[in-house]
Amino acid sequence: MSERILKRLEEIEAWAEKATPGPWTYGESEREQWVEADDGLIVYLEHYSKPDPTVHEQAKYDFDFIAHSRMDVPWLCELTRKLLAVAEVAREFYDAIYNEKNVYETWPDIMESQEVYEAGNRLRKALAALEEVEE
């Protein structure tokens, strides 16, 4: 797997781990908007005058995004790790098959090789793990 991608993923996961536990929810009143968790307030915005409806509506979308990110970011990180694992195993499977010389002439022999069988089995398991990602 790409070390650059894994390093970035670890940084994102560290930020998520340090944040207030979720889930987070959005709330609003006529002059206030906020994101909160069971443990307390996360983000708060107070409008000192009656807000322009367009500004209030845009802020609602922004706060919704913030609130959902608490659960979505860890989910996306988990999915990304599983997809990277599938990509790595698929690469190994491809290499196991196509590293053979004259692959098309020796196809029956390749399909019976233990290396190809094991690589195919790892690919099957990696694909099955994708199905286990919680929604």
pLDDT tens digits for range 51-64: 677 877 888 888 89
Q: How far apart, in whole angstroms, are the C-alpha atoms of residue 24 and residue 101? A: 56
pTM over cut 0.75: no
**Predicted pLDDT of residue 72:** 94
Q: Which residues contact 44 (CB under 8 A, 6 or more apart)?
A: 32, 33, 34
Write out the residue range of the structural domain in which residue 24 sits. Answer: 3-131
Of the candidates 53, 52, 26, the residue with the CA atom closest to the CA atom of residue 41 = 26
- As a whole number, the mean pLDDT across the chain is 81
Per the structure, the count of domains in the chain is 1
Q: Which residues contact 132 (CB under 8 A, 6 or more apart)?
A: none
Report how far apart the first and last C-alpha atoms of the chain are (Å, whole number): 24
Q: What is the mean pLDDT of residues 8-13?
A: 94
Q: How far apart, in whole angstroms, are the C-alpha atoms of residue 76 and residue 3? A: 18
With cut-offs at 50, 70 and 90, classify the pLDDT of residue 102: low
